Chains A and B, each alone.
Chain A
Amino acid sequence: MSTLALRLEKDLDGGTSVALGQVFDRRGELVAAPRIPVGFQAQHLELELPEGSYLVRALLPSGEYVNQHVELLPGVRKPVDIPAHGSEHEWLSWHHFSNGAGARDAVVPKRRSAFMMARRHDESPILESLRLVSPAMHDIVMEDLTGVGQTTVTLRGMVVQAWVYGYGPHVLVRLTARVDGGSAQFQPVRALVKCAGEPESIVCLPMPWPGQQHASSRDEEACAVEILLQSRDDRQAGVPGPVVSVLVKDAVYGPLLAYLSSGDLASALELVRVERSRPFVPPRQQPYAFASIEYVLLEGEGLANQLRGTATDRHYRLEATKALRDECSWMPDGAVLHGSHLLRSGDVESARREFETAIDRGVPVFTAGLRLLLEGLRRVEALDDLKKIGPYAASADPQQPFTTLNSAALEAGGVDVTSLRAREIAAMALA
């Protein structure tokens, strides 16, 4: 036997991640489907294989793939670093890895000047304001992050460090949140992002995102959450404003959510399968990761059935989503997920109540949650509630993992964004 030591070469700001892979033998048969470590700091994954020729394919969360031909000689360990640069903007490497942003068709930056403060640029969306909103209880905290390279703000006990970079057609805002006093105090955090001459975008942010045992960030306290603004292609007429995408730099949940958003449920489920083998983490400790897994299992239920498929497991899903609903009452997603499971269990009236609870709590953090809520309300024919979430569903970007709304579309739907900007938008209260 020989050893194939695999790694995907990608500079993830010093962090690491994973991508699903396929190893084919010389006949074209799939002989392994490994989780390939990603990042220059990542340890190689070792696969024992008979000598011979192989094609290794890495399935990137962005939907792209990379091939590498490998010849394994008998009894040797062969390290293979698959190059996956593919971007002319490696400072956006996490976004390129996750959703293809900053690919080669964009402007080539000069290396030394790639990291700059947000500034006026002919091709750049000009960041006019970026406010973080934390609606815990009845307070509203807004901090304008515009025009700073690095700053720190405090949102009800949560300390957020923010860096703003801009170059070419991109503006990147990196946010790292930690909670004073140790245990995380979660609350819905939104960002109101305004570029000059463009309508505002309203983005749900999964903060703080506790560092995992597989922390990808050099900051061990929390994974960074990044907001990327890109000039919208002229061909995307009819959708105003820049493309706003949010990702979390978690080694596993980052790609997991990207696979979910790009429709690669098989890869997302494979990551979930491994995550579920780890010790159970109650929802209140990591509600976003908990919800991510439940969304993947529900969205991929046809495939998930192959992984589990027992009534016992369905019962477990019902209990797990109920726990999320109860322990994280600030988060609408638990009620949406629980309601969706109740619908599938045939308990229509309970499901209807869950959807009403979700609406009282506001817009789901995850786009998948907004879609499941829309689906649930259609199924139970809750027409009044459907009208309430209609504007939000019609102004959401379906490609984003976290709910991202376009204020121009909201206003077109009769939602008074200006008045919402105070308390209602903070809570995203729909009721």
Chain B
Amino acid sequence: MTLLVDRKESGPGIHAMVIGVGHYPHLEGGSTPRPDTLDLRQLTSPPVNALKVADWLRTKLSHPRAKLASVDLLVSARGGPVSVADDQGATREIDPATMACIRSGVLGWIQRAHLDAGNVALFYFCGHGVAAGLMSGLLAEDFGDDHTDRTLLANVVDLEELYLGMDQCRAEEQLFLIDACRATPAAIAERAMRGRIGESILTPSAKPRYAARDAPILYACQPGMTAYAQRDADSAFTRALLDSLDGAGAVLEGIGWCVRTDSLLRAVNARLRRLAGDQNLPPQKAVQDRTSGYVFHRLAKPPSVPLSVGCHPQTAVDAAELVVSNRLLSKRLPAPPKGRWAESFPAGSYDIAAEFPRKEFRDCALRDVLLHPPEHSIDLEVQQ
């Protein structure tokens, strides 16, 4: 394990386990590929994602009650070990995400999170994922090291067992973020028929506690589907997730603008739709499992809300200027090149007007339009 952050502060703390697996030596493109690589290849995105998530936690996370206490980072990248500056500014070589490292990392993570019921336990994984029906597994770096297949599931983390085992952790707020495909290679599905899909790191207790925790799981995609990323860049899901945490998933509560776990999913999916369009990626829909409803992150300022404005009839857009204003801000935008204006504004109420300097149409305005995350789209009805 590599404790990038290890702060010994009193009171509730946030304990994060962040894993990014891009290097799989026994899969296609690896140094010692298995005879049957199950169509699974090397990945470039998970190390980028894991580092971004760890960085976001260190620099931006503001839980209303708990402070960041620990971040354990495991990264397997094709080019070898990754080095990152730790909390003290010292350069640390990050341990790889082998099954042994994940196991010891998870055990340390639960031990730290268990100390206080007010703690928050966060688990993030990016890498290859497999699924068979109701079961999901996460592939460690050394997946497939037994080329005979006798222990094919030895280096697969059984996600359900990990999830169920975590209900013995006293941390009442938990969050599981899984950025991985949920495909079903036949060889793995066949072995899942025994009711398990990998190794159990934690043994679920026979005595779960009533309402012991609020612990949603957010998956990057639906079962059987693929989670997408651009080469050497962050993935669509992780980008959408961080955008949502930065404000797209925000709601206004008594403590100000904050991101709740029950407002995350719709925001992530709104962002995923936008990213798919912008990056020409196939559609991808995140899904949430289990209950949730707590404030995870507090924003220091109102979130930025993407606004898309068009006109009816559409031809009016070419002759129009868009004016978005309130008592703090006023912005005039010329006719857009693509038929709609697209611009982001801080959440709040605005007057939104289409003005026609050459008077082809009558000016048209909506007053006091609330721009609320995740995004807003408006069509102005204009008349000649």
CA distance A391 to B290 in the complex (A): 23
A381-418 contact mask (Cβ, 8 Å, vs B): 1 or 0: 10000110111111111110000000001001110000
Are A69 and B189 in contact (CB-based, < 8 A)? no
Chain B: which residue is nearest A349 at the CB level?
A: B206
Please tell me if B71 contacts chain A, counting CB pairs below 8 Å: no
Please tell me if A53 contacts chain B, counting CB pairs below 8 Å: yes
For residue A386, which residues in chain B have a CB less than 8 angstroms away from its CB?
Answer: 194-196
CA distance A26 to B205 in the complex (A): 48
CA distance A26 to B348 in the complex (A): 7
Please tell me if B164 contacts chain A, counting CB pairs below 8 Å: yes
A317-344 contact mask (Cβ, 8 Å, vs B): 1 or 0: 0000000000000000000000000011
Are B370 and A314 in contact (CB-based, < 8 A)? no
Please tell me if A379 contacts chain B, counting CB pairs below 8 Å: yes
Are A394 and B189 in contact (CB-based, < 8 A)? yes
Determine which of A24, A233, A300, A303 lies in contact with B372 in the assembled complex, contact meaning CB atoms within 8 Å: A24
Determine which of B134, B193, B347 lies in contact with A371 in the assembled complex, contact meaning CB atoms within 8 Å: B134
Chain B: which residue is nearest A269 at the CB level?
A: B291
CA distance A305 to B212 in the complex (A): 10
Please tell me if B292 contacts chain A, counting CB pairs below 8 Å: yes
Chain B: which residue is nearest A55 at the CB level?
A: B370
Are B192 and A303 in contact (CB-based, < 8 A)? no
For residue A396, which residues in chain B have a CB less than 8 angstroms away from its CB?
Answer: 133-134
For residue B291, which residues in chain A have a CB less than 8 angstroms away from its CB?
Answer: 265, 299-304
Are A262 and B287 in contact (CB-based, < 8 A)? yes
Please tell me if B150 contacts chain A, counting CB pairs below 8 Å: no
CA distance A392 to B205 in the complex (A): 23
Are A301 and B133 in contact (CB-based, < 8 A)? no
CA distance A127 to B191 in the complex (A): 31
Determine which of A59, A63, A67, A302 lies in contact with B376 in the assembled complex, contact meaning CB atoms within 8 Å: A67
Are A378 and B193 in contact (CB-based, < 8 A)? no
Please tell me if B99 contacts chain A, counting CB pairs below 8 Å: no
Determine which of B135, B223, B368 lies in contact with A53 in the assembled complex, contact meaning CB atoms within 8 Å: B368
CA distance A390 to B192 in the complex (A): 7
Chain B: which residue is nearest A314 at the CB level?
A: B210
For residue A346, which residues in chain B have a CB less than 8 angstroms away from its CB?
Answer: 207
For residue B347, which residues in chain A have a CB less than 8 angstroms away from its CB?
Answer: 28
Are B193 and A263 in contact (CB-based, < 8 A)? no
Task: Scan residues 260-300 of chain B and give those whose CB is less than 8 A from a CB of chain A.
Answer: 262, 265-266, 269, 282-283, 285, 287-293
Using A53-B349, A264-B262, A387-B194 as known contacts, say yes or no to A26 and B134 having CB atoms under 8 A apart.
no
For residue A30, which residues in chain B have a CB less than 8 angstroms away from its CB?
Answer: 251-252
CA distance A256 to B368 in the complex (A): 34
For residue A237, which residues in chain B have a CB less than 8 angstroms away from its CB?
Answer: 183
Chain B CB within 10 A, most for which of A105, A266, A381:
A266
Please tell me if B332 contacts chain A, counting CB pairs below 8 Å: no
Using A302-B215, A304-B211, A395-B133 as known contacts, say yes or no to A67 and B193 having CB atoms under 8 A apart.
no
Q: Is the interface of A mostly helix, strand, loop or mixed?
A: mixed
Please tell me if A309 contacts chain B, counting CB pairs below 8 Å: yes
Are B370 and A65 in contact (CB-based, < 8 A)? no
Determine which of B215, B226, B266 lies in contact with A235 in the assembled complex, contact meaning CB atoms within 8 Å: B226
Please tell me if A222 contacts chain B, counting CB pairs below 8 Å: no
Using A69-B378, A263-B287 as known contacts, say yes or no to A387 and B349 having CB atoms under 8 A apart.
no
Are A412 and B266 in contact (CB-based, < 8 A)? no
Determine which of B184, B186, B208, B368 lies in contact with A379 in the assembled complex, contact meaning CB atoms within 8 Å: B208
Determine which of A69, A305, A394, A414 lies in contact with B132 in the assembled complex, contact meaning CB atoms within 8 Å: A394
Chain A: which residue is nearest B214 at the CB level?
A: A302
Please tell me if B116 contacts chain A, counting CB pairs below 8 Å: no
For residue B378, which residues in chain A have a CB less than 8 angstroms away from its CB?
Answer: 69
B354-384 contact mask (Cβ, 8 Å, vs A): 1 or 0: 0000000000001111101000111000000
A262-298 contact mask (Cβ, 8 Å, vs B): 1 or 0: 1111100000000000000000000000000000000
CA distance A374 to B163 in the complex (A): 13
CA distance A25 to B372 in the complex (A): 10
Determine which of B190, B193, B195, B225 lies in contact with A374 in the assembled complex, contact meaning CB atoms within 8 Å: B195
Are B193 and A390 in contact (CB-based, < 8 A)? yes
Task: Scan residues 195-244 of chain B and give those whose CB is less than 8 A from a CB of chain A.
Answer: 195-197, 204-216, 222-226
Please tell me if B29 contacts chain A, counting CB pairs below 8 Å: no
B261 nearest CB across to chain A (Å)? 10
Please tell me if A359 contacts chain B, counting CB pairs below 8 Å: no
CA distance A302 to B261 in the complex (A): 13
For residue A301, which residues in chain B have a CB less than 8 angstroms away from its CB?
Answer: 210-211, 291
CA distance A52 to B192 in the complex (A): 57
Please tell me if A429 contacts chain B, counting CB pairs below 8 Å: no
For residue A304, which residues in chain B have a CB less than 8 angstroms away from its CB?
Answer: 211, 291
Please tell me if B318 contacts chain A, counting CB pairs below 8 Å: no
Using A28-B347, A262-B287, A379-B205 as known contacts, say yes or no to A238 and B292 having CB atoms under 8 A apart.
no
Using A28-B347, A413-B190 as known contacts, say yes or no to A63 and B133 having CB atoms under 8 A apart.
no
Determine which of B215, B366, B370 lies in contact with A54 in the assembled complex, contact meaning CB atoms within 8 Å: B370
Are B214 and A379 in contact (CB-based, < 8 A)? no
Are B183 and A238 in contact (CB-based, < 8 A)? yes
- Could you show 12 A-B contacts with beta carbons less than 8 Å apart? A28-B252, A28-B257, A30-B252, A71-B366, A235-B225, A239-B224, A263-B216, A304-B291, A379-B204, A379-B205, A387-B195, A395-B132
**7 shortest A-B CB distances, which residue pairs?**
A413-B193, A263-B288, A390-B195, A53-B368, A386-B195, A305-B211, A239-B224
Q: Residues on A close to B: CB < 8 A?
A: 24-30, 52-55, 57, 59, 63-65, 67, 69, 71, 100, 105, 233, 235-239, 262-266, 299-306, 309, 314, 343-344, 346, 348, 351, 367, 370-371, 374-375, 377-381, 386-387, 389-399, 409, 412-414
